[in-house]
Structure formats: structure tokens, C-alpha cells
Structure 1
Amino acid sequence: MTIHPEIAKVLGTLPTPDGSPLDPQALRAGEAAQVQPAEKRLPPHAVVDATARTPAGDVPVRIYTPTDADTFGLLVYFHGGAFFLGSLDTHDHVARSLAKETGRKVISVGYRLAPEAAFPAGLEDCYGVVRWAATEGEALGWNGDLAVAGDSSGANFAAVVTAMAHDDGFPGITHQILFYPSLDLDFDADRYPSMRENAEGYGLETAGLKPFNAFYLDSGADPADPLVSPIKRQDLTGLPAALIITAEHDPLRDEGEQYGRRLEEAGVPATVSRYAGANHGFVQNFSWIPEYYRAFEEAAEFLAPAPKAAE
């Protein structure tokens, strides 16, 4: 279907890229200016800023507790932003919605960003927080169920973190949720049909992928490395069950869907769900549209415990 009319209205207001160099500080400031006041955000039971002490150093986290229950499944969330944008604040509303719908305690990670922090600093922060969450499980009221989630570049980190955990023999992660993931940082426009089909006019443009990810790649991230492009990992067996949410009008659509197929071929339960009329970033930018808020509800259904068999 065509792009959703509400999304089309917003796309019509965006300036045409002029090819000028990207200024990380200016772009971050622009994002920060769009953050809604706290009183306009979804109110969970409690929101607390904390510090996770990890082998990579101290990492700021924001912990969302959905109810006054005693125990919770944990969901560690990594925000998107092409590895150089995004923050606990810009994606605060995403974490709040995930906590509300899943009923899990959500730990949002304020990982270090490129170009100031070279690869693999941000990735190490994300993995470190997952291990910290398990170590601090009693204090967090953890019931033993741990999932990870991320959007765009944050979904890249989520996919890589599950592989790192598997390789380290850490069995704690049971589920991974990847919202329109960026899984292949070799941005050859002919690698996936969606790179051509959705090249222009939908917000994220194929020609912009290289410059927007250059801060990360130029910091030492090699696109051929599965720690950078998780779709290049040869053996996907043993990874946690996956929910992969893709957008119809997204250059990155096909790599996410291919990754889902590869997981299934490796014996990993994988659900791929394409949202019609949506573009890249819709979970962050357009979840106020009811049919796109559905992504949070689908995440909750994916994470829900399987019904017990009748005695």
C-alpha cells in the first residue's frame, strides 16, 4: 500500500538533503528539542535513572517499572540513531510503551555514541548492561526471564548482544525484538531489492545510509565483521527466539526479513511482521497512529508466557 497519509504529511515538511556534511552536535540538539515534556508522556508506576557498573565502565540506564508487582521479566532496550544519535530522552516514550504493554521492567541503555566513542564502546556498554541486569536480578525483582529489544541501530546491538551472550555461554536471554533492524552495514544499493524500491521519499533514504553510519564505521567498525553486521554471522543456531518488525517503505526492510528467514533455517523460532504503509522509524515517530502502536502490543504477545497445558 502507499505510505500512510499521516506519515506522508510529515514527510512533506522535511527539507531536501543538500549533501552538506553532517554535524552530530547539531543533529542531537535538534532531536533533543523534539522531546515531549515529562507530563505528556505515558506514566508507568515508576521511572528511575540509575548507573549500571559494567566491565566497560559505568553506563547510565533508565529503569521503567510498570506496576507495583514484586517480580518482573526484564527487557533491556537499546535505542536507535545510526550509532551517533538518540538518547534515554529521545526514546523515553518507546521504553514507556514497552513497559506498559509487556508488563516487564524495562532497562533503557544510555550507551556511548560514535564518533566520540570508537567501536566497540557502545556495543560493550549494551552487553555489559545485560550482564549487569542478570547480576543485579534480585535487586531488580527479576523473575529469571530476560529479553532484549532495539530499534534500527539499537536492533543491530540487540542482535549482536544475543550472539555475544551465546558465544560466552550466557544462557539468560530468552527473546530478542528487532524493530526495523539495521543488520548489514555494507550499504551496497543492489544488495537488497528494498534498497532500490524505497530509495527516496520515505524519510530514510538509501543514499543517506553511508553518511549517517559513517561516524560508526570510521571509528573502526568493519562492515564485514558479524559484530558490526550481524546478518553476516554464519551460524545462527542457538540464538534466542526473535520477533522482527519491518516497515513496508524502508530501505532496510529486506535485510530484516532475510535475517528472520535465516534464523528459522537455523532452527530459531522467528516471527517477521511487516507493517504496511509504514516507514523506517515508525515505532519512534508514529506510534501515536493506532495501527503502528500495534507493534508494542505485538511485542507483548511475543513475550507472553506460553499457556500451561491442562492437567
Structure 2
Amino acid sequence: MRQLSPKISPWLASFNQQLSTMQANGYKPTCTNVREGLAYLTAAFVTDIPAIPWVQDDLVPSPRYKVPVRIYHPNPNRALPVLIYFHGGGHMAGSITVYDAICRKIAIAAQHIVVSADYRLAPECPYPAGADDAYTVVKNIWVVLDQRQLQYQRQLSIGGDSAGGALSATVASIVQFDPAIDIHAQLLIYPSLDYTLSAPSLDENNNGYLINKEKVTWYFNNYFQQNEDRKTASPLFAEFSAKLPPTLVISAEFCPLRDEGIAYLARLRKAGVASDHLHFADLPHAFLNLENLIKEECQRTYQNIGAWLNLKKTA
């Protein structure tokens, strides 16, 4: 029998009650309040912010848009591999500021230089702006690191959570046939991979678990504004080859996006791509943003991320 963790269920019940009251009083989502909501939630529950000896903001060059990034080097005296991280937020919310503590923890756990990308958000900048920015950062990050004269290994991994996972998988799909870009590994944390909203878990986990099908639909309607083919845009339905990067998928049982990550794993394995799966049977979507409620589970997540990024991958 499925059961939500007792560490999180009392808070989630209170959250759902407050949301119900707000809706009864006329609340409706806007880009402003969803951004504030994710920022407040993360600030309230991710309060352990570890020190990193070298953190700086920069811009990744591009003819169309210079993408802001924040670079975390956990050991400036060592040449470390690089992870580009794309934050979550439904393509409408989140930022490098909101995800600062999470990226610090990944940098320390993995002993990687973490580059957090502040890609453009909908509705102001709809599809494909965010995906273009993600590709820009992956393609041009070495220029920025060289300009900064940082010590690094030319080993590049990519990853993200939720919508950031969608961006990571989209870039991985594009560069799998580009010999100029080599992706060592990919990290997908409760990723959004199917813009057609066809996964059964969207209905199974539709009520009371932070996000639901209606909210995800609203996100995507703001993201896609020109009647794009959403199936074509979905990483889950893109071409899969053995040239895709080895991938760790982290999923949660009570996440509406659960089945998308599991289906993506199946397609990777069928294509002969090394992959691994970390599943939490009692957690909801966005649990890394709720760390103070589930510290052991978050610590386990960071430990697995570090191990995966540093493992030599074989199919």
C-alpha cells in the first residue's frame, strides 16, 4: 500500500488546506505568485546553506542572448569536472538565487564545478527560449571558464530537476549527434519529459501533492504560445541512440511526473545507454525544496548524485 512519508504528510495537509482557502477567496495563479511561492517555499525549508570557497556570476556569450550563470567551485586549487544545472519551476519560476543552496550541496557532494543557468522564463520568453539558453550554456561554457582562469577538467555533465530536467534531456537529445560536444553523464531529478501530459501518474497523483495536472497544463500553456507540436518538443518522444549520455533518474512515488522519468529510463536502456534509478516510495515532487522536513532523504539524494557523476559509466 502506498503511503506518503509521515515526515511530510502533516505539512502537506496544512499546505493543501491553506491553498483551498485561498482558492475559495478568489486566488488564481500568475507568473508573479508562482515565482514567489517557489522562492518562499525553498527559503523556508532549505536553510542549511554550505560555504563554497569560490562563487561568481558570469554571462555565457551568444549572438542572441547572453545567459546569466552562477559558478560554484568547491575546491579552487583542484581541476574538477563540470556540471551544468538547470533549475526547476515549470519553465515559469525558479532562478539561480532560489536554487543557490541546492547547487552548493551538489557541488560539494559531487566535487564538481557547478554552473547554474538562469535561463529565460515564460510567459515573457516562451518556448524555445529556455531550451536555446540551455544549449548556449552547454556549447559555450568552456569560454567562460577559460576567461575566469579556473582550474577544471574538460569533462562535462548536465542535469536538472522538473522543468530543468526537461531542458537537460532536450539538450542531450540535440547534442547526441554533435561530435563537438561530449556529455559525460546526465542527472534528471523528477523530470518533466512529456509535454503531451499522457503519463498515468498525472492522474494517479493529481490531488494534494504540490503540483497537479491542472497546474502543469497551465505551465505548459504559458510555455508553448505558438501552437507548437508538444510531442515533438518532448524529450521522451525524441530519437534515442547509444550516443545519449549515461543518465541517473531520481523519481518520487507521489510525483505526477513519476512515470515520465521511468519511461525515459526504459527508452535509454533499450538504446543501450547506461542508466540508474533512485526512487523514493514515500515522497512527492520537489522534495529537495523541502529539505528540512526530510533531511536524510535529501542527503541520500546528494550522495547518489555525487556517486553517479563520478562513476565511470558502462552500458
Q: Calculate the TM-score normalised by the size of structure 2.
A: 0.89
Gaps of 5+ in 2: none
1:178 aligns with 2:188: yes
Q: 1:269 is aligned with what amino acid? A: A
Cα distance, 1:201 vs structure 2: 1.7
Alignment check: 8 A CA contact 2:74 2:112 kept = yes
Question: Which residue of 1 is the match for residue 4 of structure 2?
Answer: 3
RMSD: 2.3
1:113 aligns with 2:121: yes
Cα distance, 1:214 vs structure 2: 1.7
Structure 1 vs Structure 2: percent identity of aligned residues?
31
Equivalent of 2:212 in 205, 213, 234: 205
Alignment check: 8 A CA contact 2:41 2:289 kept = no
Q: Which moved more, 1:257-266 or 1:132-141?
A: 132-141
Question: Which residue of 2 is the match for residue 46 of structure 1?
Answer: 54
Equivalent of 2:203 in 193, 196, 201: 196
Alignment check: 8 A CA contact 2:76 2:150 kept = no
Cα distance, 1:20 vs structure 2: 5.3
Question: Which residue of 1 is the match for residue 94 of structure 2?
Answer: 86
Q: Which moved more, 1:132-141 or 1:148-157?
A: 132-141
- 1:1-311 matches, within 5 Å, as 1-14=2-15, 15-16=19-20, 18=23, 21-34=28-41, 36=43, 41-138=49-146, 139-187=149-197, 191-218=198-225, 221-225=228-232, 228-286=233-291, 289-306=295-312
Taking a change above 3 Å as real, the CA distance of residues 207 and 27 of structure 1, as seen in their structure-2 partners, is closer
Larger relative helix fraction: 2
**SS of residue matched to 2:108:** helix
Taking a change above 3 Å as real, the CA distance of residues 236 and 286 of structure 1, as seen in their structure-2 partners, is farther
Cα distance in 1 for residues equivalent to 2:77 and 2:47: 24
Cα distance in 1 for residues equivalent to 2:228 and 2:167: 13
Q: 1:149 is aligned with what amino acid? A: G
User: What is the CA deviation profile of residues 144-191 of structure 1, one whole-angstrom value per residue up to 9, with x for unaligned ones?
Assistant: 11000100000000001111222333332110000000000112xxx3
User: What is the CA deviation profile of residues 104-146 of structure 1, one whole-angstrom value per residue up to 9, with x for unaligned ones?
Assistant: 0000000100110121111111110111113345433221110
**SS of residue matched to 1:171:** coil
Number of corresponding residues = 302
Taking a change above 3 Å as real, the CA distance of residues 236 and 22 of structure 1, as seen in their structure-2 partners, is farther
Alignment check: 8 A CA contact 1:77 1:108 kept = yes
Cα distance in 1 for residues equivalent to 2:181 and 2:219: 34
Cα distance in 2 for residues equivalent to 1:208 and 1:70: 43
Q: 1:296 is aligned with what amino acid? A: Y
Q: 1:289 is aligned with what amino acid? A: K
Q: 1:185 is aligned with what amino acid? A: Y
Cα distance, 1:3 vs structure 2: 1.0
Cα distance, 1:220 vs structure 2: 5.4
Taking a change above 3 Å as real, the CA distance of residues 45 and 220 of structure 1, as seen in their structure-2 partners, is farther
Q: Which moved more, 1:275-284 or 1:12-21?
A: 12-21
Q: Calculate the TM-score normalised by the size of structure 1.
A: 0.90
**SS of residue matched to 1:182:** coil
Q: Which moved more, 1:167-176 or 1:156-165?
A: 167-176
Taking a change above 3 Å as real, the CA distance of residues 81 and 221 of structure 1, as seen in their structure-2 partners, is farther
Gaps of 5+ in 1: none
Alignment check: 8 A CA contact 2:67 2:118 kept = yes
Cα distance in 2 for residues equivalent to 1:218 and 1:264: 33
Taking a change above 3 Å as real, the CA distance of residues 258 and 82 of structure 1, as seen in their structure-2 partners, is same
